Structure 1
Amino acid sequence: MSSANISRRAIIRALAVTAGAGALAGCFTPLYGDPNVVPGARNAQAHLQNLEIPEIGGRSGVVLRNELIYLTQGGGGRAQAPTHVLRVSLGVDSVPLLLNTAAGRPSAQSISLIGNYFITPVGSQEVLHRGQAVASASFDRTAQRLASDRAVIEAQERAAKSLAETIVTQVAGWYVTRPR
């Protein structure tokens, strides 16, 4: 085969891929698309602003709830007229990553937060959507007790913020894809 045949095939393949991508581009709707700009889009942010988020127990729960409120309300505080309630139950797990054989204790650990959530209409117990999200953060343990305790707290806060972002993305996806 000559190099001219190979280059023609490459050009034909590139054109086919470009045509296929162009045809599928019309099927894409951005998650946070504005319905006034993108035809057929559903504004996920408008739905997220109508979420009420009740208290979540524990220190990590407080950080998670605050981050959820911040992400759903755009930093504007609580929902003015909530239509749905987002309830989250939080589980915390700690796993040693490295073991200090001289001291006989872990030198690095990972904190995992597991958030099971469900959405109900305000004033109803009917579950419209349920899901689960997981986030983790690692930290180093040292011989200094206060530094290690602070490292645990900071890892829990990092994991809670990451978990909040995951939950908000999943809930926004549900709002966009659910039947109208």
Structure 2
Amino acid sequence: MPLQNLRIIGIVVLITVVLVVPLVLVGGTGQTPTNESVGSVYSTGGPKCVDAFNTTDVGWIHEVSMGDGYSITSAVIVTHSGSELDATVRNQTDGQYTIQIDANGSTGPRNTTCKSATEIVFATKVPSDFESVTLQVNNHEVKTIPNDDSMPDLYEIPPVINTSTENG
């Protein structure tokens, strides 16, 4: 099995264990009230020059049924002008969840030699009766995934999401 596939599998397993075990132990199921935050975890790597990233392991959203909910995981590279990213998950309306990656509030030193980017890997769990989950970056829709079956699904998204035009 290629090393990149092992890395993806390892990331998905790690995120699933880190996310699902605490949510199951504290009863993290059932419909979340509208516009409320949903439990999630994420990690970031960067910032560094966007050209320095290996884009073969990113650019996906995965959803899989896990008991009485669905585990949603993703990995993507986001360009930005500051040094930080933030990610939140909300139940926008009944059953329609939004994963928001925010690069607008990035602060810190700006790289003047290349376009800065950060890899973000995140996970969340939504109830089994969710209607859809939408990934947004800076309030722009990247991908909406429907709840159309109980089989695991892997959705392709752009591996690099450009949020700024600075330095190329």
TM beyond 0.5: no
Of Structure 1 and Structure 2, the greater strand share is in 2
TM-score when normalising by structure 2: 0.27
Structure with the higher fraction of residues in helix conformation: 1
Which protein has the larger Cα radius of gyration, Structure 1 or Structure 2? 1
